[in-house]
Amino acid sequence: MGRWQPDAQGRLEQAALELFEERGCARTTVEDIAARAGLTERTFFRYFTDKREVLFSGAGALEALMVEAIGAAPMSAAPLSAVMAAFEALGPWIESRRGHARKRRTVIAGHGELRERELIKLSTLATAIAAMLRKRGLAAPAAALVAETGIAIFKNAFERWADDRREQDFAVHVRAVVAALQAATAGIAPPSPSSRGGGATRRTPSRIRRYIAFKQQHVREDLQRRDCRFRDVCSNPVAFAR
């Protein structure tokens, strides 16, 4: 066998996916994957660090495309809008992997160790998105929030896209998820000035206010009685000394 084979990485990815479907991840070895692809184990390790990584070979490309697209967004664009536009721009790249993505999702869903690795990859993507948003001038806490929100939207849109029998574009599902999120949060009122930080006080329930007013009145009356007694003592100390 020659040292170089055309599309070796793609063949390894396809072989791994088939074997994971047939045998499960735990009962599939690197040797099995390489043999199914008609390659050697040495060739396998040129492309992947372990057998699980085969299913996540596109993570690096996805991150690079996302970061580039967010960076190219107009500076006037709202942070979340820039992230959503980047997701939509990924459409052609994701569309080219539809068949593979559906099989891959099924395999990952059936293996806990693969689900865990996918969460790690998504967390890494969120970190990269947040870093780009900080470069665009967004404060770190807000950048992290927008990035995590973006990942949640991406995951939901991806599930819809993978299940869509009409095979609509990924961008269609991104917009649908954003619309659903907006509808779900439409009734949430912004916090009132009295409930915000910076030393502002919160509104006190009426029952507590009435109790406080009662105690204050009680204290005032007690002080008045004490004051009257003090004046009487001062005016006739002999009488009170008996």
**pLDDT tens track for 38-82:** 999 999 999 999 999 999 988 998 999 999 999 999 999 999 999
pLDDT at residue number 1:
40
The architecture of the domain spanning 8-56 is Orthogonal Bundle (1.10)
Task: Identify which of 59, 58, 6 has the alpha carbon closest to the alpha carbon of residue 37.
Answer: 6
Residue-range domain boundaries for the chain: 8-56, 59-180, 206-237
Token pair for 96: 């080219």
Cα 241 from Cα 232, distance rounded (Å): 12
Cα 147 from Cα 139, distance rounded (Å): 12
The answer to whether the beta carbons of residues 59 and 144 sit under 8 Å apart is no
pLDDT at residue number 120:
94
> Across residues 195-223, what is the average pLDDT?
54
Q: Given a cut of 90, is residue 221 above it in pLDDT?
A: no
Percent residues over pLDDT 90 in the chain: 59
Give the CA dihedral 143, 146, 147, 149, nearest 10 degrees.
160
Specify the pTM: 0.73
| CATH fold for the domain made of 59-180 | Tetracycline Repressor; domain 2 (1.10.357)
